[in-house]
Structure 1
Amino acid sequence: MSAKTQRGSAASRVFVVVAVSAAVIVAALAAVLVLDAERSERNEAEEVTRAVASSLASLPEVAQSLSAPDPSEALQPLAADVMAQTGLDFVTIMTPDGIRVSHRDPAEIGRHYLGTIPSTPSVFTEEFTGTLGPSVRTIVPVTAEGELVGWVSVGVTIGSIWSKILPRLPFVVSIALALLAAGLVGAWLARRTTRRVAGDLPAGTIRDAVASYESVRTLGEALRAQTHEHGNRMHTAVSLLELGRTGEAIEILTETSRQSQELVDQVAARRGGDPTVGALLLGKAAQARERGIEWSAEIDPDAPRSVLSPVDAVSVVGNLIDNAMDAAAAAEAPRWVRVVFGRTPSSPASLRMEVSDSGTGVPAALRERIYEHGFTTKPGGAEGRGVGLALVRSIVASAGGRLELRDDPTAFVVTLPARPT
């Protein structure tokens, strides 16, 4: 990313995105309108050429003239009159084998017709390039007493079709400019609204602020659960001591210490461990027990150090665990969440984080929407903001990593690149 892009404010980037989107949509709409007009004119040309050719072919004098010694004497003036009255580009009358007896250019009379002549007497419309250039043309058989005596071909050049479209272009352009102006106004309003909220802060700074907020939120929830759990156990132990049941009080305190110490030992053993993430895992373990969810954490001591900052690491891990616990809590027993830190098999220097759960999984129709800002399958309110996975993917992508969703069991897998040495 260039320094200029990094310095650009979020408001400016919103303006550019909205303005460019509006321009693209307007250009596409203008193209659709022009193509629709061209299609309409082409359809009209096909209908007109078919009607005129059929009318000429049904005239008795056409069939009679084709049997005369010099058909051009009568048919060339007739074709010229029809072209003058209808505005068609050419009316060509020919013998059964395709020799012209009339043509817009008299010099072409006596030459073979350029176009498709049906193998059996039938009406046929096509686009073909003849002496006048590309044209839409219809050829109709001329019959006398059931016998084929000739053909009539009537056509409109593509140039003539577009000459009818050109007068419509100012209308299309005016609509396009009006829509573009509306889009630019929308972009300006979006920029103004964004600036009211974020000022002139760069987009990256705003994302960092959201990540910081999410980190504080998830870490705070974890520590609250841990404090609550310890408080309950301490109250229970104190009550047992007051009742003289010292052994049971010691057992409760020992079990609490043992559970926490196991996770502390795993975090401490990891050579690239992050104490902030360690504190998060301790709190989340307590939160899982509080919600009746079986907790499992496997941390490879040789797992590489994360390229993420502590704030981003807490956002990623915390949000994935929160989603996993929500899914597990909504599922039928057994309810469990499993967290794994280790090396990536294909790249030992890369860190692999996996958070899996016993939930019902993500429906196929929602596998992409779950990453959209504002989308959530949770109820509205503090627990359903629709920020978590969008933020996780943004942080992982910015670090050059990859976020994958797997099934059986449901698992979000984060792969982060090796940390620069």
Structure 2
Amino acid sequence: MRFATRVLLLQLLTVVAVVTTSTVVFIGLSIEQLRDEAETSALMIARTIGSDPQVRELVAEETQDAENPAAEVLAQGEIQHYAEAAADSTSALFVVITDNNGMRLAHPDEDLLGLQVSTSFAEALAGKEVVAWEKGTLGESARAKVPVFAPDSETPVGEISVGFERNGVFDDLPRTLLFIVAAALLALLIGIIAMFVLRKRWEQLTLGVQPEELVVMVQNQAAVLDGVGDGVIALDTEGTIRLSNGSAKQIFGLHSAEGRSLTDLGLPDDVVADLQAGVARDGIVANGRVLFLEARSVDRGGQSLGAVIVIRDRTDVMALSERLETVRTMTSALRVQRHEFANRMHVAAGLIESGRDGEAAQFLRAMRSRGPVDYPLIGTELISEPFLQAFLGAKSLEASERGVSMQIREETLVLGKVAEVEDIATVLGNLVDNAITAAVANPEMRLVEVTLMDDATELVMVVADSGPGITPGEDPFAHKTHVEETEQGEEVVPAEQIRGRGIGLTLSQEMAQRRGGEVWVIERGGEPSGRGAVFGARLPGVMEQDPSFNYREVREEEGK
């Protein structure tokens, strides 16, 4: 049996139980209400008769009479006539009047006149009013008993007993029960209709999936969402985020993404439009991270349920690529150094073998002063730090191949040693690569200038180029795209495919900010200055100092 059917039967049993219970309660309340109304009517009639001055006077006279009148005399008396008239006018079963001994002075059955009543009269003669259901000579009835006080006195001299027949009390009960049963059947019908409507709505909302299947789906969802490193965001048909895993929240730096839209995540409008159209986007920068976004529509049984956005964080991959590029650059530099060093060793060995020791010694001293290799880097002697010298030397070789000269400015002063090779290589490499690309665009002067200064564990870098500068209004740290003309028309090329542009600056800025540093534009260049752009970078914690070396004295000497 399907779960929806079981729920329907359970709801049906619940509705039947509720309606039945309500019907029984209403019937009980109706019966109790009729009983209360009969008792109240009997009490009011008894009070009215008992307060009549004539009745009080007549009962007081009968009570004072030492002899009990015969039934025939009482039957023709005023009290009997009064009681019969009251019973007829109120439709009561009986109106009985007694003296202080409980002897009947008025009764519907004249044969019982002068006899003591069959039910207790003690409480009424004690001055109390009594309402109860009792069975007497006329059968069971709802009756009220009130005392009859003597004229101008609070002394009971008799009692008034008024009763209504049981069958008469419940004359209206069938009609009341009919209304109650009709209301119960109507409520039951409404409940059944509501159950079928609820079942249909249930199946629409759950797409016909049963609870057992929902449990499996939740387990699979938890396993998939929490078991993958990619970010996953589920959108409804309105484009609102309904579900996101921990990776997605971490990527966008959110505590909770549910209820937001894609634009709230810091994504550009064009990216949101592409994702809504099902177009994947790569190299998107959001929250300081480089992302690949892919949208996939979701439907079930022909009904669209929204879309799922898969997010891959490529920041670490791009950083690793930059580091691999650094390794490649350093490997190339080492290969050049090894080749040049081998050549010089051959020269020195040849001079020694030929007996020209003096020339060999002079050659080795010159090689020691110049270094193992001649880089096309102007001002190489200003940098004594081995890594920075080799790295910038390798970059100068690449720049030379593109017709660009690299120069170390005289303001450069690095006294410490590099402690974090990868971060320096990534940031400095990106700045130099961008500067070389910009300098190539200037056919008159192709020059890149680098200034390096350290302060304790902090390294400050300034890179200037002779290019056309930064276009006014352009954000150099924003993600860029490039439009190329193709046979099919214009095609947008991702920025990461364009050498020297794209996400390099953004990646460098994000890496510097992680360390508490920054990358910024010192001068935008361009018209009317006619100079190129100048970028600065500050990286804390990337250098280490020799504790035995007095850097203050050296810097003071340099300042002089």
Normalization by structure 2: what TM-score?
0.36
| Structure with the largest fraction of helix | 1
Q: Which has the higher strand share?
A: 2
Q: TM-score, normalised by structure 1?
A: 0.46
